[in-house]
A and B are shown apart, each in its own frame.
Chain A
């Protein structure tokens, strides 16, 4: 099963994000003192959604190449979108684009054309603010993801396989999450199995790790657990990752430790993407 199905408005694929909103996310995140893991989660999910929307954007609007869901787990578990999208398990990407909670303005450094950098104001949509409350029912969240995707796959049996991205510190409080993770990645379309990628946000002061092919060198048991739960990158994604400068092998997994997982969005193939587009 080769992961080659065309992603189009007629045959959309699906992204499901699982975000850890438990009390432990109040702890500091990585080497940056003063930043909490919950801030890292909010930043990661907002940037993932922003990049996914931009990938599907044309001037006439957003093309619904993807349907998207976000499941939060912590004090409460379930669909996590607020506002008009509240309660929806999956919604077209154009709805996500049209309904951020707010749009902030940030400053981005851009090439000034004279060898220097200039400040440019850009709009930055926010769907999720940091939340840290309650336990970490990761097993339950992954089980819920399976239920949602079973429904999706029954309606889209030939789609490019859904991608699940779990953003967490790995400290599940409802048992071993690798069991439901195996069940989740057994689900499949005719084009391949569901892919589960993990972004591990940790208080551990270790070097960030992106898309490793071995658990050797990972700093703790949580990182190793999440690495082993993560799907191997399909061949076509490995090819793109390699072009993007990542060192990959057949054992490279969709796992990132205290680093940026937004590169995953660039690994998606919805048509020609200039290799010199950065």
Chain B
């Protein structure tokens, strides 16, 4: 029998920031419970030090989701290249809008607009085979937005950050300016695997991912409280509790839970 995927995404801005200041992005943007041959998920995390990182993260996530090639380092470069083209068009429209609104670019915005926005990208595609009990997945990543796979109570994939010590506040990220992406393009990583009934996958941005790995490294089963979320309010409470307990850095937090059913 063909497997299905059931996915739900939760997000919360950094404490003290408004929802408008949230700079993570994810795809799909709505609850998903459907069949399909290839299902693509993406998550991106806009850098706090950067101008318009939120819109750039959205463009990156959508660019991955709309691509048709199997995720690989080579196809990811194409995704980024297309995203950079979209970014140029978006930025031109944004600047036109500013001019129309009589809100000229201020001196402090010039550098950020010139260097471009920065963001991570994590993309994963699930290939479901007709009539097959199993499927395969392929993922690409640049930065510290993570994919974890859990099977039978064990974390079987930690990608691209394998240990909680692997996070810092200075990752190499993707810029909207293609001229600034030479180093980042060389650091794109890919991974692949198979899935079957009962498997769970979690995409999450860095603050939550660091907590997840640390808890798992200490023998915990952090996915169990993620599986029990079901409603956005519970995610907010979970993140709030972890922040207050000093177990999670205060940052935008985004989680996509995917269940193979």
Contacts and interface: CB of A to CB of B under 8 A. Distances in A.
B108 A120 contact: no
Contacts of B107: 103, 123-125
A190 to B, nearest CB: 14
Contacts of B45: 272
Contacts of B115: 277-278
Interface centre among B20, B48, B49, B52 (most CB of A within 10 A): B49
B47 A272 contact: yes
A26 to B, nearest CB: 30
A57 B108 contact: yes
B175 interface: yes
A59 B52 contact: yes
Place the interface of chain B in its size category. Answer: 20 to 34
B170 A274 contact: yes
A5 B50 CA distance: 21
Contacts of A43: none
Residue among A122, A270, A276, A278 with the highest chain B CB neighbour number at 10 A: A276
B49 A55 contact: yes
B49 A277 contact: yes
B16 A277 contact: no
B184 A276 contact: yes
Interface string A125-162: 10000000000000000000000000000000000000
Interface in A205-222: none
Given A10-B16, A274-B170, A57 B51 contact: yes
Contact-residue bracket for chain A = 35 or more
Interface in B116-172: 118, 168-172
Contact of B109 (A57, A113, A273, A275): A57
Contacts of B180: 276
A107 interface: no
Contacts of A57: 51, 108-109, 112
B261 interface: no
A270 B17 CA distance: 13
Nearest to B108: A57
Interface in A47-87: 50, 53-55, 57-60, 62
Contacts of B112: 54, 57, 59
A60 B103 CA distance: 10
A239 B169 CA distance: 11
Interface string B170-199: 111101000110011000000000000000
A9 interface: yes
6 contacts: A54-B111, A57-B109, A62-B108, A270-B48, A272-B170, A274-B118
Interface of B: 16, 20-21, 45, 47-52, 106-112, 114-115, 118, 168-173, 175, 179-180, 183-184, 206, 250-251
Q: Top 4 nearest A-B pairs by Cβ distance?
A: A271-B48, A123-B107, A274-B173, A274-B118
Interface of A: 6, 8-10, 50, 53-55, 57-60, 62, 97, 103, 110-111, 113, 120, 122-125, 239-240, 243, 269-278
Given A123-B110, A271-B169, A274-B170, 8 more contacts: A58-B21, A58-B51, A120-B114, A271-B48, A272-B206, A274-B175, A275-B170, A275-B172
